[in-house]
Amino acid sequence: MDIGMMWFDPDPKTALDEKVLRAAAYFRAKYGKTPNACRVNPAMMTDAERVAGPVTVRPWRSILPGTLWIGVEESTLQVC
């Protein structure tokens, strides 16, 4: 994923899946596309990969805790 939207939600009481679904809904409303990929800090995850709705969530060390990088995985983009 080269292009995405940063989403900050530091609330420790909110589950990661809920954060991802909120960010996905905002992304869809703002950009008109449904995101399918999300990167988060490894400390926010308990497993190597998870799925929240249509979004595959993976850890990435460069992402700060409480922050999600959500967008469309480039392998699914159509090239004209």
Domain ranges of the chain: 3-72
Is this prediction's pTM over 0.85? Answer: yes
Statement: residue 76 has pLDDT above 60: no
Statement: residue 79 has pLDDT above 70: no
Question: What is the per-residue burial (b if ≥16 Cβ within 10 Å, else e) of 38-59?
Answer: bbbbeebeeeeebebeebbbeb
- The pLDDT, as a whole number, for residue 48 is 87
* pLDDT, mean of residues 39-63: 94
| 57 touches 38 (CB < 8 A) | yes
- Mean of the per-residue pLDDT values of the chain: 92
Residue 80 pLDDT grade (very low, low, confident, very high; cuts 50, 70, 90): low
- The pLDDT, as a whole number, for residue 47 is 87
